[in-house]
Amino acid sequence: MIEAAKVSDGTYPCDDFLRSLESSKRRKDREHLAVILIVLEDYAHRRELVFPREINDLEDGIRELKPGKVRLPFFNVPQSRVGAVRLTHGFFKGTPWAPRGEILKAMWVRREDLAS
């Protein structure tokens, strides 16, 4: 099961990112969204990806899905009976490595989500 993590103000940063792609007038953004949905469905069904390089360990239990140029950090939900993961947020790849600020944001979203 793949869920979106919630922060203390009641928003879901990953949902906001995905909705921005969905509502965009740019064809490229909608193409990114289509690739994301395929990767999410594949991961939800198999708990792994056909191409292992599309998933990466970042830091402190934060991992990332890498559908195309998009990065979706996530974490495993503690004590989930169904093996749920929660997506923290999304961003576009701009460097070969995940920017430190994006890793810190993912860890912040996880703390916020698990505290609620």
Question: Which two structure tokens, joined as six digits, stand for 66?
Answer: 């890498």
Mean residue pLDDT across the chain: 90
Cα–Cα distance, 14 to 73 (Å, whole number)? 9
- Residue of 31 and 83 predicted with greater confidence: 31
For the whole model, what pTM was predicted?
A: 0.89
pLDDT at 80 (0 to 100) = 82
Per-residue pLDDT reduced to its tens digit, 59-99: 999 999 988 899 999 999 998 888 789 999 999 988 888 89
Domain 2-115 has what CATH class?
Answer: alpha beta
Question: Which two structure tokens, joined as six digits, stand for 50?
Answer: 């056909």
The domain ranges of the chain are 2-115
Question: Which two structure tokens, joined as six digits, stand for 60?
Answer: 């402190």
